[in-house]
């Protein structure tokens, strides 16, 4: 049976996944969340004409004459009197402008002796004043729908006095690992055993990309233990198992899940690594069955599970950023599967990217994955690539 092309697999996944609902949160909980609406300002900023510098509020028509300083305006405490011809008011950055003043002269451009002030230089009327609403006005859109909120957006919303707003709910992702050989990190590792790195990997990936991971632990390679674990899959938006999806005698999870309600959409995709991935519907929950080798599972997450999470989150991108880079070495012709090779790229002083992929490509190796910052993509049946050719890359680390 022909393997399913990667793009066809992704289309089938995204056609089966919907955006999640919306919830209202406080601004202090919003880092990394996705705006579910255009968020508008509750006030005008600045709310009044304000001084942009420390100096003196004056009438521009008066600057050629000595002036008398009659008071001061500071942030949070404005000058309440009336400034007349021949007068000036000491003013500080951010302080409200003085009524009847039309210019601020910076303090470096004046000479003051007691209350007497001489203006040495002033370029133009209206200098050094921040107009009311110069940043934004009440009702202006501060953050557009589907924006991932970072510290800059949060500061802007705070300045607009927006304390609460709507965001997309975070997908809850149940994570199950399988394998008799696996022990939890920190365990005493005996003969024939290895540390389970897949659960920490997927817990971190889900968290990193805006989801809420739920650790179901590790099931032994028995139908009884797998059944006990999948009985815990409740009140989640996505379910992923890692390991046991190939054709070995102990790769039983697909059969056990089918008995419990799994409807398989596809099994095996034309990609390397990651060919044995399973996707389907587990009692109304999107299900991903990942291969057990960590790098294979990572590539499957990048290509399929991450776009599905982003669609649930209301994001307007389908996954990690893609780019192009210049090869630093030759690469042999491709095969009948798309190959995602771990690699490393860098940019020169002109912003041009260069990439190499000389690391071991064994799908069981984690250090080569950790040492990589991109996946070098080789299309199906790609011809030999030569040093200097342009190739597509997926940026693991921007």
Burial 312-345 (b: 16+ CB within 10 A, else e): bbbbeeebbeeeebebbeebeebeebbbbbbbbb
**Strands (DSSP E) found in 122-254:** 129-130, 141-143, 164-168, 172-178, 182-183, 194-195, 212-219, 238-242
Residue 247, pLDDT above cutoff 90: no
Phi/psi of residue 240, each to 5°?
Answer: -130, 130
Domain with CATH 2.40.340.10 in the chain: 322-395
Note the pLDDT tens digit of each residue in 91-113: 999 999 998 999 999 999 999 99
CATH number, domain 22-43+138-168 = 3.90.105.10
CA distance 251 to 239: 18
Residue 345, pLDDT above cutoff 70: yes
Q: Would you say 165 and 37 are in contact if contact means Cβ atoms under 8 Å apart?
A: yes
Domain with CATH 2.170.190.11 in the chain: 50-130
Residue 359, pLDDT above cutoff 90: no
Domain with CATH 3.40.980.10 in the chain: 6-20+170-313
CA distance 290 to 309: 15
Residue 142, pLDDT above cutoff 70: yes
Scanning 85-197, the segments in alpha helix (DSSP H) are 151-159
Please tell me the CATH superfamily of domain 6-20+170-313, with its number.
Answer: MoaB/Mog-like domain (3.40.980.10)
Residue 364, pLDDT above cutoff 80: no
CATH number, domain 322-395 = 2.40.340.10
Instruction: Tell me what the mean pLDDT of segment 35-60 comes to.
Output: 96
CATH number, domain 50-130 = 2.170.190.11
Mean pLDDT value across the chain: 93
Residue 274, pLDDT above cutoff 90: yes
The pTM assigned to this predicted structure is 0.88
Q: What pLDDT shows up at residue 1?
A: 58
């Amino acid at each position: 049976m022909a393997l399913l092309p990667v793009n066809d697999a992704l289309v089938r996944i995204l056609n089966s996944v919907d955006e999640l609902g919306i919830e209202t949160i406080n601004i202090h909980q919003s880092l990394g969340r996705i705006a579910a609406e255009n968020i508008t300002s509750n006030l005008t900023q600045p709310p009044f004409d304000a001084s942009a510098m420390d100096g003196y509020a004056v009438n521009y028509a008066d600057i050629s004459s000595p002036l008398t300083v009659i008071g001061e305006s500071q942030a949070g405490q404005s000058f309440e009197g009336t400034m007349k011809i021949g007068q000036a008011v000491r003013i500080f950055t951010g302080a409200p402008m003085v009524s009847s003043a039309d210019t601020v002269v910076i303090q470096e451009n004046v000479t003051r002796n007691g209350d007497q002030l001489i203006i040495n230089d002033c370029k133009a009327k209206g200098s050094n004043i921040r107009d009311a609403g110069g940043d934004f006005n009440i009702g202006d859109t501060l953050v557009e729908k589907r924006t991932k909120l970072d510290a800059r957006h949060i500061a802007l919303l705070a300045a607009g006095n927006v304390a609460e707003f709507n965001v997309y709910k975070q997908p809850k992702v149940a994570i199950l690992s399988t394998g008799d050989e696996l022990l939890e990190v920190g365990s005493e590792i005996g003969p024939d055993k290895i540390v389970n790195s897949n659960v920490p990997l997927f817990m971190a990936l889900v968290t990193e990309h805006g989801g809420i991971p739920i650790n179901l632990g590790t099931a032994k390679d028995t139908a009884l233990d797998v059944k006990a674990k999948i009985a815990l899959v409740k009140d989640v938006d996505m379910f992923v198992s890692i390991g046991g999806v190939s054709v070995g005698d102990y790769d039983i999870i697909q059969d056990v899940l089918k008995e419990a309600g799994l409807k398989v959409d596809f099994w095996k995709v034309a990609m390397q690594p990651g060919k044995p991935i399973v996707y389907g519907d587990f009692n109304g929950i999107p299900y991903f069955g990942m291969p057990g080798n960590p790098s294979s599972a990572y590539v499957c997450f990048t290509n399929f599970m991450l776009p599905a999470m982003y669609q649930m989150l209301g994001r307007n991108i389908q996954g990690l950023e893609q780019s192009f880079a210049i090869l630093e070495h030759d690469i042999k012709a491709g095969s009948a599967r798309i190959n995602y090779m771990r690699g490393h790229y860098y940019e020169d002083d002109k912003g041009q990217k260069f990439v190499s992929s000389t690391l071991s490509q064994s799908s069981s190796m984690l250090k080569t994955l950790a040492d990589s910052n991109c996946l070098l993509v080789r299309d199906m049946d790609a011809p030999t690539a030569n040093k200097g050719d342009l190739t597509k890359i997926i940026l693991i680390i921007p």
